[in-house]
């Protein structure tokens, strides 16, 4: 499975970036134990650690094939890594945003207008993490 090394590195990076080493509790979340819930339209999230509604978190996201969010902002920054599919993350109406495949990374600053899209004919999955809660505010 090609994404396993990506996930392992991702968890180490996220835990060391977001939570002090002495606050980390050893844990494993296997692929088959991820519990996705619908959060908005066709968007699904599954918790890896923390609570995205209140603070630091690591969250798996799923988008259907050929789906794009409306332009929006977040109150806090976050970082993400593509795990499956092909994605784009155009900022401020950017045309021809780079297409990101598995292993690609993006970051969004607080208040930065952007959209996020799955541009492949297969569903997309990504992992996002932040040291703050997650929100979504459409720009229009």
Low-confidence ranges of the chain (pLDDT < 70): 1-22
Superfamily of domain 3-138: Jelly Rolls (2.60.120.10)
Question: 38-68 burial, b for 16+ CB within 10 Å, e for fewer?
Answer: eeeeebbbbbbbbebeeebbbbbbbbeeebe
If we measure between CA atoms, which residue out of 110, 97, 83, 105 comes closest to residue 4?
83
Q: How far apart are CA 63 and CA 41, in angstroms?
A: 10
Query: How do 137-138 and 117-118 pair as beta strands?
Result: unpaired
Q: Which residue do the tokens 């459409």 mark? A: 138
Q: How many CB atoms lie within 10 A of CB 14?
A: 24
37 neighbors 46 (Cβ within 8 angstroms)? yes
The model's pTM is 0.81
pLDDT of res. 138:
87
H-type helices in the chain, by residue range?
Answer: 3-18
pLDDT of res. 76:
92
59 neighbors 134 (Cβ within 8 angstroms)? yes
pLDDT of res. 21:
56
């Amino acid at each position: 499975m090609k994404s396993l090394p990506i996930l392992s590195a991702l968890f180490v990076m996220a835990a060391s970036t977001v939570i002090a080493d002495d606050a980390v509790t050893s844990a494993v979340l296997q692929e088959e134990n991820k519990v996705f819930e619908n959060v908005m339209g066709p968007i699904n999230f599954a918790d890896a650690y923390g609570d995205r509604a209140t603070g630091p978190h690591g969250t798996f996201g799923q988008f259907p094939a050929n789906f794009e969010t409306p332009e929006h902002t977040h109150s806090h920054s976050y970082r993400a890594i593509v795990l499956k599919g092909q994605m784009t993350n155009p900022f401020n109406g950017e045309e021809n945003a780079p297409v990101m495949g598995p292993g690609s990374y993006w970051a969004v600053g607080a208040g930065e207008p952007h959209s996020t899209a799955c541009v492949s004919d297969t569903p997309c999955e990504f992992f996002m993490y932040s040291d703050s809660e997650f929100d979504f505010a459409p720009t229009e």
